[in-house]
Amino acid sequence: MEPDLSIAVIADIHGNIWALDAVLADIDQRGITQIVDLGDTVYGPFAPRETAQRLRERRILSVRGNCDREIYEEQTDQSASLMYTRAQLVREDLDWLRTFPATLVVAGAILLCHGTPDADTTYLTEEPTLQGSCLRPIAAIEAALTGVAYPVICCAHSHIPRVIMTTTQQLIINPGSVGMPAYADGACPMEVGSPHARYAILHQRAGRWSVEQVVLHYDWSAAAEAARLHEQPDRAFMQMTGLVPR
């Protein structure tokens, strides 16, 4: 029988050091020593350098998100957040980001990816609409996992917490976002409705998997103030509310 196991799953930190520190403190208090990160680590108008340092200090395994890749690739869209993030990072941070793999398998059973196993900009669990995000049809999720035999898949990108069981009995977990509770994907609002930091804990007991979704208070006013200082009032609003301004 497989040994008992607990793994903390974090994602979409986006440089929000205040949220990350709250999450890491909660994980430590629970006595969990294994942490994995699903990408989009430092891109955002907050504290990218400090966030990179914290993750490296903790030796946290990370997979590459689209926003990690955009930092070191040439981009035609030079957003204010991208330019700020690049300006804050040093060469060792960029070298560290380049080491992130697209996917990773841990404990021989858990596949980590940012979007889908094949694309970091595709939602695995979400179907964006003009009214907001809804659950992607299970058949479409299963099609995106063709050839993937692992019993547990952890994904991110949407910032929307999900726990889904497929007809093939694969467990899919989206832990939500540590540091960015809302954003707009084009005309689609991706929002959770509160400013809390979010992460998930995977437990394996007697060969069975269960999931604990964690919602944490932290000093979100500090993150909002950082966004205001970088002249991003809409981002400040989203940090304070978990909603996309209409």
Q: At what angle do helices 48-57 and 91-98 cross, to 10 degrees?
A: 60
Q: Are 152 and 107 in contact (CB under 8 A)?
A: no
Q: What is the CA 98 to chain-centroid distance, rounded?
A: 17
Under 8 Å CB-to-CB from 75, ≥6 apart: which residues? 82
pLDDT of residue 132: 83
Q: What is the per-residue pLDDT for 1? A: 52
DSSP string, 114-146: SSSSS-TTS-SSEEEETTEEEEPPHHHHHHHTT
Name the residue with higher pLDDT: 2 or 8. Answer: 8
Helix (DSSP H) and strand (DSSP E) numbers for the chain? 8, 14
Own/partner contacts of 175-178, CB < 8 Å, gap of 24 or more, are: 175/9, 175/10, 175/11, 175/38, 175/199, 175/200, 175/213, 176/11, 176/12, 176/200, 176/213, 177/11, 177/12, 177/13, 177/14, 178/10, 178/11, 178/12, 178/13, 178/14, 178/16, 178/19, 178/20, 178/23
Residue 203 covered by a domain: yes
Residue 71 lies in a domain: yes
Give me the helix-helix angle, 80-88 and 48-57, nearest 10°: 50
Task: Report if residue 246 sits inside a domain.
Answer: no
User: What is the per-residue pLDDT across 197-246, written as a single tens digit (0 to 9) for each?
Assistant: 999 999 999 989 999 999 999 999 999 999 999 999 999 999 999 999 99
Residue 76, pLDDT score: 66
Instruction: Give the pLDDT confidence score for residue 85 in this predicted structure.
Output: 96
Above pLDDT 70, what percent of the chain? 98
Reported as a single tens digit per residue, the pLDDT across 87-100 is: 999 999 999 999 99
User: Which has more pLDDT, 246 or 30?
Assistant: 30
Whole-prediction pTM value? 0.96
Give how many domains the chain has, as a whole number. 1
Dihedral sign for Cα atoms in the order 36, 39, 45, 51: positive
Residue 18 C-alpha from the chain's centroid:
15
Average pLDDT over residues 6-33: 99
Cβ neighbour number for residue 199 with a 10 Å cutoff: 30
> What pLDDT sits at residue 94?
96
User: Which residue in this structure is represented by tokens 């030079």?
Assistant: 78
Residue 133 confidence class, pLDDT cut points 50, 70, 90: confident
pLDDT tens sequence across 111-121: 999 999 999 99
Degrees, nearest 5: CA angle 128-154-148: 95
Residue 176 falls inside a structural domain: yes
CATH number of domain containing 90: 3.60.21.10
Its domain, for residue 82, covers 5-241
Computed over every residue of the chain, the mean pLDDT equals 96
| Cα separation values, 43 from 116, 147, 163, 191, Å | 20, 31, 26, 18
In a domain, 181, yes or no: yes
Per-residue pLDDT, 78: 79
Q: What is the pLDDT of residues 154-198, one digit of tens each?
A: 999 999 999 999 999 999 999 999 999 999 998 899 999 999 999
pLDDT in tens, 39-87: 999 999 999 999 999 999 999 999 999 999 999 998 767 788 999 999 9
